[in-house]
Structure 1
Amino acid sequence: MVSDRRTSSDDPLKFLIVDDHALVRYGLSLALRQRYPDVVIVEAGSLAEAMRKARSERDLTAILYDLQMGDSDEHSGLTDMLDAAGDVPLIVVSGATDGNVIASCIRAGARGFVNKGCEGAVLDQALPIVLEGGIFAPAPPTPPDGQRVRIALASAPAQARSENDAVSSLTERQREVLRLLLEGQSNKEIARALGVLEGTIKVHLRTVMQRLGVRNRTQLALATMKAGIKLQS
């Protein structure tokens, strides 16, 4: 199966969006395209269609899955979808706020849970963490003034969010990816060195480039030198 996958470091990310409401699928597509302009979007409006596409589509980066699909029970449907997804990480996107529902999704094998009422920026936080093997979920109970997010990833420190300095928002892992990239390693080599999926490296690099306002590796190297980022631990 690995031999069938594309190997180019410039391959776009590819997401399967599963929701039985076309407008929701459209909104999620816009959110992903805003962050990753070259993203490939695959849509499914039913569980049956989603399972077919999960099994047939190559190189899926992740699946965004609505828990309340019209053609299935939410819990058995999630189990069936996870089985069809295989190794592709699945993030539940749902309007549910019950902590028991969230916990049951994570126990079933979902790698993340994003509430439909949250801000779009939550996806920026969720995707790298989920693709790196962590769990992303809201912390119950949800406070009345908005959703707070708890990131459960033992290997990554809390991400600084300085508005005035883009460099301060880089996580330790993003710095590590950047260091290896500046050493001339390809996405595949970086993924192998860090023991993560190549799609994870793509997400990290796109995030770093967006934070530093650059569009390619050459500009990224120059921006790193200008900013004086210390990449050595």
Structure 2
Amino acid sequence: MPDTAFRFIIADDHPLFRGALKQTLEIQYPDSRIEEAGTLEDVTALLSGGSDVDLVLLDLTMPGMRGFSGLMYLRAQFAGVPVVIVSANEDPQAIRSCIKFGASGFIPKSHGIEVIRDAISAVMEGNVWTPPEVDLSADDGTTDLVQRLATLTPQQVRVLMMLSEGLLNKQIAYELSVSEATVKAHVSAILQKLGVESRTQAVIAASKIEAGQWQIG
């Protein structure tokens, strides 16, 4: 039984699932600190707390997240913190996209406790874990776009999320407490990085790798 104390964050908006996963981690890593979050904002607050986090177990469909945007944001804002996706989505393209965005693993919620334990152990040992039947080398035509999206800064990811919700520049500026000029600069940078010419094209481009999760508002 590992005797090293780790710090985990379980990020899921279903309390029952958080509780079950927390119990699993408590048995596997009994001396560890395990915190829970129900929204992306909660996760960000915990990660900003200063203490090192060894692993975030992240659901893709929590409040505050659209498609892979939460993963993109966390990887950009907290690049040194490993993130494993724990999701009901078992689409191979979604799994490959998560790994391309920098996730350290992808665990389908349908898998049993033993598999989840083995997966977490593998990641804690520095490996990347995905279901063995998923071919990570398969080319679904989104590699270039994923690489472009991965270059966005944390603030640019947030702006793109809000663009996808149909918000205007002045509304985004209000939400982010910045000037409209700053928002315009972020939008211009997003268009340049994605190689598109309009806000709508940027959202459509992002939707291509979201497996239907990132919708235009």
TM-score range, shorter chain: 0.5 to 0.7
Spell out the pairing of 1:62-211 with structure 2 (5 A cutoff). 62-140=55-133
Q: Which residue of 2 aligns with 1:23?
A: 16
Higher relative contact order (CA 8 A, sep 6+): 2
| Comparing 76-85 and 64-73, the one that deviates more | 76-85
Q: Distance in 1 between matches of 2:79 and 2:19?
A: 25
Cα drift, residue 84 of structure 1:
3.2
Question: Which secondary structure state, in structure 2, belongs to the residue aligned with residue 128 of structure 1?
Answer: helix
Question: 1:112 is matched by which residue type in structure 2?
Answer: G
Q: Distance in 2 between matches of 1:133 and 1:11?
A: 15
Question: Which secondary structure state, in structure 1, belongs to the residue aligned with residue 130 of structure 2?
Answer: strand
Q: Distance in 1 between matches of 2:109 and 2:50?
A: 25
Cα drift, residue 111 of structure 1:
0.5
Q: Distance in 2 between matches of 1:83 and 1:101?
A: 19
TM-score by length of 2: 0.57
Q: Which residue of 1 aligns with 2:51?
A: 58
After superposition, the Cα gap between the structure-2 partners of 1:83 and 1:140, relative to the gap in structure 1 and judged at 3 Å, is same
TM-score by length of 1: 0.53
Q: Which residue of 2 aligns with 1:33?
A: 26
Question: 1:42 is matched by which residue type in structure 2?
Answer: E
The one-character-per-residue Cα deviations of 1:27-69 (angstroms, maximum 9, x if unpaired) are: 1101111212222111111001101211224121111000111
Cα drift, residue 132 of structure 1:
3.3
Aligned residue pairs total 136
Checking the alignment, whether the CA contact within 8 Å between 1:64 and 1:90 is kept in structure 2 is yes
Q: Distance in 2 between matches of 1:10 and 1:26?
A: 22
The runs of 5 or more residues in structure 2 that have no matched partner are: 137-217
Q: Distance in 2 between matches of 1:121 and 1:68?
A: 24
Q: Distance in 2 between matches of 1:47 and 1:140?
A: 30
Checking the alignment, whether the CA contact within 8 Å between 1:98 and 1:140 is kept in structure 2 is no
| Identity score, percent | 34
Checking the alignment, whether the CA contact within 8 Å between 1:99 and 1:140 is kept in structure 2 is no
Q: Distance in 1 between matches of 2:77 and 2:10?
A: 14
After superposition, the Cα gap between the structure-2 partners of 1:115 and 1:22, relative to the gap in structure 1 and judged at 3 Å, is same
Q: Which residue of 2 aligns with 1:181?
A: none
Q: Which residue of 1 aligns with 2:209?
A: none
Q: Distance in 2 between matches of 1:29 and 1:10?
A: 17
Q: Distance in 2 between matches of 1:78 and 1:59?
A: 18
Q: Which residue of 1 aligns with 2:175?
A: none
* TM-align CA RMSD: 2.4
The runs of 5 or more residues in structure 1 that have no matched partner are: 1-8, 142-149, 152-233
